[in-house]
A and B are shown apart, each in its own frame.
Chain A
Amino acid sequence: MADHRIVSVLIPAVGGQGGGVLSEWIIDAALLAGFPAQSTSIPGVAQRTGSTSYVVEIFTRPRAELNGQEPVFCLFPVPGALDVLLAPELLEVGRAIEAGFASPSRTTIISSTHRLYSIHEKMPAGDAIYPREWLEEAARTFSRRFVSFDALALARANRTEANAVLLGALAATGVMPVGVDSFRKAIEQKGVEVAANLKGFEVGYELVRRGADRPAPAGSVAKASVRPEFAAECAPYPEPLRPIVAEALHRLIDYQDRAYAERYLRRLEPFVAGDHDPYTLGGLVARHLAVWMTYEDAIRVADLKTRAARFRRIETEHRAPAGQLVITDYLKPDLDEIYGILPYRLVRPLAAFAERRWPRGRPTLGQHVKITTVSGFLRVWLLARLRPLRPISYRARHEHALMAEWLGAVEQCLRLDYDLACEVARGAQLVKGYGDVRRRMVAAFRALLDSVLAAAAIDPGAARALAEECRTLVLRGPEGEDAASQTAGRTLERLRRSVAGSVLQRDRLPSD
């Protein structure tokens, strides 16, 4: 009896991932191989994409030897006594580890590396994705062996399902008492998409058997390369900046013209000249300025929507020639975006009126454009031809003034504190979105500049912390924007009070 044990498997899945079928294959394989086994699940609201889990237990003593005795199976995975954590998605590995299920001395973790993002990772305006490195580190620490690979990508490449690939991987680890053939038989017995699932099984099995499952260590992404056409032009720039500047030049010429790109270089110049290795500030300004100078006005959107490259991309994604695709674009520019592309002098009175008349949410022009028809395409394509008007447009005046304000603030801060200047440069990350969203983000950005500059005059260190905090808060979404303005208010008041306090003290000094 001592040599017999119960092997327990937990499949933490996301509703709709086929965790149920995976658990059925495992239990069927165990029963085919003659072992007593039991499975259960918490489907709960499984089909509705929440977390869901399946548990399988297999007794390692064949039924034939039991003489009527029955092992007692548990309906729950037991924290610390789990043999296999088989996860079709990486975040769920983290969740199972967090609940204490995986143990370094016992558990084999087999996981697909792909992610299905939770709504809480998707909603914030910035990057709120749970760090993959943490999840992978946890899986390594809390397992005897960590097997991981992108099962979804493998499945797509082989026209099969990810759960079949994972089953193959499980079979190859040798942690189950069940032989490989029993798994194959289980797939055949189920009788659903047998050929495709067997193929997937073999792919996973081979991968793990060859030991080709090691995840690429983080940070091994090839070093950013310099666009060759701009290599010569970028040579005078410090090495870390070259790929950024080359990318920026490409982007700006594509957006407007050569002169516009040169304007960019002139603006960037002071931030590079005054910088030093590793050129953090220069890099930040170079990146954000390039993105900002190529702001997405109606002309830009029309241009991007009517490019041959776009049609090629969609053809590839949908595996059909463009002639068999009907593409409809959902366009709804608001009044700002429409008059934004017209000459400044012409629309200034209109803009002033619109801002007063519709302070929140301007009128819009909604249209569904069938861009794969000649008339639909022409409508958008002709809009893109307005590019020469851009430099004198209302929007250009507006955007460049704001950019100048930002660069001025960075420069001003640089005189006080390098890190503060970097943080202010990073603030430009907030300038994004369209219509109302962009107006809101720009407002948040200006509020950030104002409060940080005011704070910097008193305490540059505190100002840097404030800038970072406000940026992080605003990136959390609309609720964060209110929190940011409150934080700024509180910090400024605290700083002002402390200044007032120290002034009082200094005033008192002579009389002491």
Chain B
Amino acid sequence: MGERTFAEDVKQLGYGAGQILQGEGILAITKAVLQSGVSYIGGYPGAPVSHLLDVMGDANEPLLKPMGIYFEASGSEAAAAALLGASLNYPMRGVVTWKSVVGTNVASDALSHVASAGVVGGALIVIGEDYGEGASILQERTHSVALKSSLPLLDPRNSLSAFAHFVEEGFNLSEVCGQPVLFSIRIRAAHMRGTLVCKDNIPPKISMRSRIDHAVFNIEKINLPPFTYAMEAQKFEHRLPAAQRYIHEHGFNEHRPGAEESIGIVMQGGLYNTTARALALLGAADLYGASPVPLLILNAIHPLVPEELCGFLRGKRRVLVVEEGMPNYIEQQLKALAHDERLSVEIHGKDLFGQYGELVPYVVVSGLKKFLTMHEAATVPGADVERRFEALTAHRAKLGAILPTPVAKRPPTFCTGCPERPVFSAMKILRTKQPEVGDTHVSADIGCHSFGTQAPFNVGNTILGYGMGLSSSNAVAPLFGKRVVSVMGDGGFWHNGLTNGVANAVFNKQDSVLVILENFYTSATGQQHNPSTGKNARNEPTTMTIPQALRGLGVTWIKTVNPYRIGEMLGTLRRALTTREGGLKVIIARGECQLERQRRERPLIRKKTERGERVSQPKFGVDPDVCTGDHSCMRVNGCPSLTLRDNPDPLRDDPIAHVDASCVGCGVCGEVAHAAVLCPSFYEVKTISNPGPWERLVGRVRMRVIGALAGA
């Protein structure tokens, strides 16, 4: 399943002690999970942790089943968090994963409850912190969730062995303190390639091969008063202190002393690599990370251990905190601690780095330069730091003169052949050609289809969360002069949209139009299975369908459309927006994710062609002498394979449209030209490989006749 195959990775997950695993950070985490004796694994896909679920799906048959480990791709992050309920009463270890901060938000109801009751079996939550460059979601960090729910939060240094070590220690920590533990990994770290020396996998004591016989009832674990008061007290009297002790005794945080006594740097473990490189570039460290400046690397950023911090602060004049995102909890805690302990140390952090944004090398180098040149340090001469910083950044001044206007942006868009693109083409055409109906409010959603809000469509006025497209239109619809539209993918529909969207809208008698883009996978995160796939993550067949679910909720106006037929799509949209029928009207635009389809069909076509069977392959083209270069097609399509080329006509200047070799023949360009009445430049060419003798003959005769009539 999924857009990558993991045969090699699955093999590595089975490695025993001493074998060397080669792969990405997330694979090392996955391996360490199996080395920790877990009984169950779950989660919801999302970059950068989708891989954990994808590879587990492929590992289920060969690896997990024989070990008796239960694996599921959960219906949502909330369902995944609730899985941890298994560790509440029973001494079994479990791991769940999702993308944060959005996934954590979805999960937080269950998460708060698990965190309140506490666990007896080790519970680990691997969160993919999708923050900074390349992030596809809003920018918040998960730190505050750890603080409010008293969840220990690990943010380990970036190396595969550190990841594995802290996964294993995370389970221990969880059992010692009785709280689930958050394990945070950033995008680049998840995709970092390196090596790991493996240990043997440990089969769980409680498993599907060795089940629990008796239900444990402990009233004190029920999240109801008065026990909730006792749970709160426990958190602060027992659980967090136990966590601090374990963190301290097992050396989670690394103190690296240095010759320079008056200053020091405290950092999140995940920022160590960038900080070490920045120090090296400024002449304050070598390439192995050895620095005269004392460093404190916090691989556990919650709870902090006051003794460790005080020990580091004591005797220093200035300390810098390298911490990402706001609020700057670590910096604040350090300042409070210094105040309480009457330490005369200046604590810097956000004042030198700026308040928000990812701590990329340029930001870190700039902040460190300011810190290191504040006062003369004996081992790190300020002038030297200044000179090195200058050498690194001087060239930036010349940029404006050479690139006078910003380089054109390249927003992500629908893949070539995507079935979702034509839906937005239809919506844009309707908006232009019939504004009294089509130029209306559109509530977009999360998924590939959120690209509909980008150029060239710019369809979609809000994005408010996964599966929230419909519900986010509920107060707009009754107060808007035209019927409004909301958009949802099948992933979002099954995740949250069915209840919070459809049930809510039907219950409240909403009169609006919902467009569901059903492409059979949760595509944006890598074509994971969802109920529309017809198979779950373990490849077991399922029978849920969107129309059945809708009918069950009382929706009666349901139309399923082939989105590639833009005329039909356009007509259905128009009907939904103009019909006198009240209530929710649902259009299901049904077409398989083209990436998945190509991945499946390409090898088949190649094989068929090689076997000498007849194969017909469509592609599209533009007649260069018919295209006048007005680019209207680009403004309602945006297909990557529909591009520009120099005008071959010596009398014209403007580039003309051109379909490049990556075309998969979906026909949207031709359909768009047709539906929007653009131009006659588009044509489809079906190339017939291995035609039969009759077809060959007919072809020859036709071309003879045509050749005789055609001019030059």
B-binding residues in A (CB < 8 A):
1, 4-6, 14-16, 24, 27, 38-45, 47-52, 55, 59, 69-81, 91, 94-95, 97-98, 100, 102-105, 116-127, 129-130, 134-135, 137-138, 141-142, 224, 243-244, 247-248, 251, 287, 290-291, 296, 301, 303-311, 314, 317-318, 320-334, 360-361, 364, 366, 371-374, 377-378, 381, 429, 432-438, 441, 475, 477-478
Asked if B619 and A318 make an inter-chain contact with CB atoms under 8 angstroms apart, the answer reads: yes
Q: CB of B193 within 8 A of chain A?
A: yes
B134 to chain A, nearest CB (A): 4
Known contacts A6-B287, A100-B395, A134-B402, A326 near B273 by CB under 8 Å? no
Asked if B684 and A330 make an inter-chain contact with CB atoms under 8 angstroms apart, the answer reads: yes
Residues from chain A with a CB closer than 8 A to the CB of B670 are 330
Q: How far is the CA of A215 from the CA of B402 in the complex (A)?
A: 18
Chain B interface extent, by class: 35 or more
B652 is contacted by which of A47, A291, A327, A374 (Cβ under 8 Å)? A291
Asked if B651 and A50 make an inter-chain contact with CB atoms under 8 angstroms apart, the answer reads: no
Q: CB of B300 within 8 A of chain A?
A: no
Residues from chain B with a CB closer than 8 A to the CB of A41 are 188, 191
Q: How far is the CA of A73 from the CA of B275 in the complex (A)?
A: 11
Known contacts A27-B193, A304-B626, A377-B706, A80 near B411 by CB under 8 Å? no
Known contacts A91-B407, A324-B699, A325-B688, A100 near B398 by CB under 8 Å? no
Chain A contact residues: over half helix, strand or loop, or mixed? mixed
Residues from chain A with a CB closer than 8 A to the CB of B677 are 332, 334, 361, 364, 434-436
Known contacts A40-B191, A72-B273, A78 near B365 by CB under 8 Å? yes
Q: How far is the CA of A317 from the CA of B640 in the complex (A)?
A: 19
Asked if A441 and B630 make an inter-chain contact with CB atoms under 8 angstroms apart, the answer reads: yes
Asked if A323 and B706 make an inter-chain contact with CB atoms under 8 angstroms apart, the answer reads: no
Asked if B411 and A98 make an inter-chain contact with CB atoms under 8 angstroms apart, the answer reads: no
A490 to chain B, nearest CB (A): 24
Asked if B687 and A138 make an inter-chain contact with CB atoms under 8 angstroms apart, the answer reads: no
Residues from chain B with a CB closer than 8 A to the CB of A435 are 677-679
Residues from chain A with a CB closer than 8 A to the CB of B413 are 48-50, 119
Question: What 0/1 readout, one digit per residue, does chain B (182-211) give for beta carbons within 8 Å of chain A?
Answer: 000001110111100000000000000000
Asked if B635 and A478 make an inter-chain contact with CB atoms under 8 angstroms apart, the answer reads: yes
Asked if B192 and A40 make an inter-chain contact with CB atoms under 8 angstroms apart, the answer reads: yes
Asked if A329 and B683 make an inter-chain contact with CB atoms under 8 angstroms apart, the answer reads: yes
Question: What 0/1 readout, one digit per residue, does chain B (603-637) give for beta carbons within 8 Å of chain A?
Answer: 00000000000001001010101101111101100
Q: CB of B288 within 8 A of chain A?
A: yes
17 extra interface residue pairs, beta carbon distance < 8 Å, beyond A324-B689, A438-B630 = A38-B194, A40-B189, A42-B134, A47-B415, A72-B277, A74-B361, A76-B188, A78-B392, A117-B643, A123-B631, A127-B654, A135-B403, A322-B699, A323-B699, A330-B680, A433-B679, A441-B630
Question: What 0/1 readout, one digit per residue, does chain B (258-280) give for beta carbons within 8 Å of chain A?
Answer: 00000000000000111011101
Residues from chain A with a CB closer than 8 A to the CB of B699 are 321-324, 372
Asked if A48 and B410 make an inter-chain contact with CB atoms under 8 angstroms apart, the answer reads: no
Question: What 0/1 readout, one digit per residue, does chain B (475-494) give for beta carbons within 8 Å of chain A?
Answer: 00000000000000000000
Asked if A4 and B287 make an inter-chain contact with CB atoms under 8 angstroms apart, the answer reads: yes
- Looking at B9-17, B90-98, B448-456, B530-538, the stretch in contact with chain A turns out to be B448-456
Question: What 0/1 readout, one digit per residue, does chain B (375-404) give for beta carbons within 8 Å of chain A?
Answer: 000000000000000011101101100111
Residues from chain B with a CB closer than 8 A to the CB of A323 are 691, 696, 699-700, 702-703
B649 to chain A, nearest CB (A): 8
B453 to chain A, nearest CB (A): 13
Asked if B407 and A130 make an inter-chain contact with CB atoms under 8 angstroms apart, the answer reads: yes
Residues from chain B with a CB closer than 8 A to the CB of A69 are 288
B711 is contacted by which of A4, A39, A307 (Cβ under 8 Å)? A307
Asked if A381 and B709 make an inter-chain contact with CB atoms under 8 angstroms apart, the answer reads: yes
Residues from chain B with a CB closer than 8 A to the CB of A39 are 192-193
Asked if A98 and B403 make an inter-chain contact with CB atoms under 8 angstroms apart, the answer reads: yes
Asked if A38 and B706 make an inter-chain contact with CB atoms under 8 angstroms apart, the answer reads: no
Residues from chain B with a CB closer than 8 A to the CB of A48 are 412-415, 448, 451, 524
Q: CB of B241 within 8 A of chain A?
A: no
Q: How far is the CA of A41 from the CA of B632 in the complex (A)?
A: 35
Residues from chain A with a CB closer than 8 A to the CB of B392 are 78-81, 103
Q: CB of B133 within 8 A of chain A?
A: yes
Asked if B411 and A50 make an inter-chain contact with CB atoms under 8 angstroms apart, the answer reads: yes
The 3 closest A-B pairs by CB, nearest first: A323-B699, A50-B412, A42-B134
Asked if B361 and A76 make an inter-chain contact with CB atoms under 8 angstroms apart, the answer reads: yes
Q: How far is the CA of A130 from the CA of B655 in the complex (A)?
A: 12
Residues from chain B with a CB closer than 8 A to the CB of A118 are 408-411
Question: What 0/1 readout, one digit per residue, does chain B (672-707) give for beta carbons within 8 Å of chain A?
Answer: 011001111011111111010000100110110111
Residues from chain B with a CB closer than 8 A to the CB of A4 are 287
Residues from chain A with a CB closer than 8 A to the CB of B305 are none
Residues from chain A with a CB closer than 8 A to the CB of B432 are 478
Residues from chain B with a CB closer than 8 A to the CB of A303 are 711
Asked if B398 and A141 make an inter-chain contact with CB atoms under 8 angstroms apart, the answer reads: yes
Residues from chain A with a CB closer than 8 A to the CB of B391 are 80, 105
Q: CB of B547 within 8 A of chain A?
A: no
Q: How far is the CA of A71 from the CA of B287 in the complex (A)?
A: 6
Asked if A71 and B643 make an inter-chain contact with CB atoms under 8 angstroms apart, the answer reads: no
Q: How far is the CA of A301 from the CA of B682 in the complex (A)?
A: 12
B284 to chain A, nearest CB (A): 13
Q: How far is the CA of A433 from the CA of B671 in the complex (A)?
A: 17
B686 is contacted by which of A243, A244, A326, A478 (Cβ under 8 Å)? A326
Most B CB atoms within 10 A — which of A104, A322, A326?
Answer: A326
Q: How far is the CA of A310 from the CA of B687 in the complex (A)?
A: 16
Q: How far is the CA of A404 from the CA of B336 in the complex (A)?
A: 82
Asked if B193 and A40 make an inter-chain contact with CB atoms under 8 angstroms apart, the answer reads: yes
B368 to chain A, nearest CB (A): 12
Q: CB of B229 within 8 A of chain A?
A: no
B361 is contacted by which of A24, A78, A438 (Cβ under 8 Å)? A78
A–B pairs, 28, beta carbons within 8 Å: A1-B287, A14-B410, A16-B662, A40-B193, A43-B47, A44-B187, A48-B415, A72-B280, A72-B289, A74-B277, A74-B361, A79-B362, A79-B392, A79-B393, A80-B391, A91-B410, A94-B403, A95-B407, A100-B362, A117-B644, A119-B410, A122-B634, A301-B626, A305-B626, A306-B706, A328-B686, A366-B567, A433-B632
B685 is contacted by which of A47, A327, A333 (Cβ under 8 Å)? A327
Known contacts A308-B711, A435-B678, A372 near B194 by CB under 8 Å? no
A301 to chain B, nearest CB (A): 5
Q: CB of B135 within 8 A of chain A?
A: yes
Known contacts A311-B710, A437-B630, A324 near B685 by CB under 8 Å? no
Known contacts A42-B187, A334-B677, A123 near B683 by CB under 8 Å? no
Q: CB of B136 within 8 A of chain A?
A: yes
Known contacts A27-B193, A120-B408, A248-B651, A320 near B288 by CB under 8 Å? no
Asked if B680 and A311 make an inter-chain contact with CB atoms under 8 angstroms apart, the answer reads: no
Residues from chain A with a CB closer than 8 A to the CB of B653 are 127, 429
A430 to chain B: closest residue by CB: B630
Q: CB of B406 within 8 A of chain A?
A: yes
A98 is contacted by which of B399, B412, B456, B625 (Cβ under 8 Å)? B399
A49 is contacted by which of B632, B640, B649 (Cβ under 8 Å)? B640
Asked if B683 and A324 make an inter-chain contact with CB atoms under 8 angstroms apart, the answer reads: no
Q: CB of B310 within 8 A of chain A?
A: no
Known contacts A72-B287, A308-B712, A437-B632, A127 near B655 by CB under 8 Å? yes
B528 to chain A, nearest CB (A): 14
B276 to chain A: closest residue by CB: A72
Q: How far is the CA of A69 from the CA of B670 in the complex (A)?
A: 60
Q: How far is the CA of A351 from the CA of B398 in the complex (A)?
A: 59
Asked if B47 and A290 make an inter-chain contact with CB atoms under 8 angstroms apart, the answer reads: no
B660 to chain A: closest residue by CB: A116
Q: Which residues of chain B from 339 to 369 have any CB-CB distance to chain A below 8 Å in the complex?
A: 360-362, 365
Asked if A120 and B455 make an inter-chain contact with CB atoms under 8 angstroms apart, the answer reads: yes
Residues from chain A with a CB closer than 8 A to the CB of B642 are 122
Q: CB of B225 within 8 A of chain A?
A: no
Q: CB of B311 within 8 A of chain A?
A: no
Most B CB atoms within 10 A — which of A42, A51, A94, A247?
Answer: A42
Residues from chain B with a CB closer than 8 A to the CB of A98 are 399, 403, 406-407
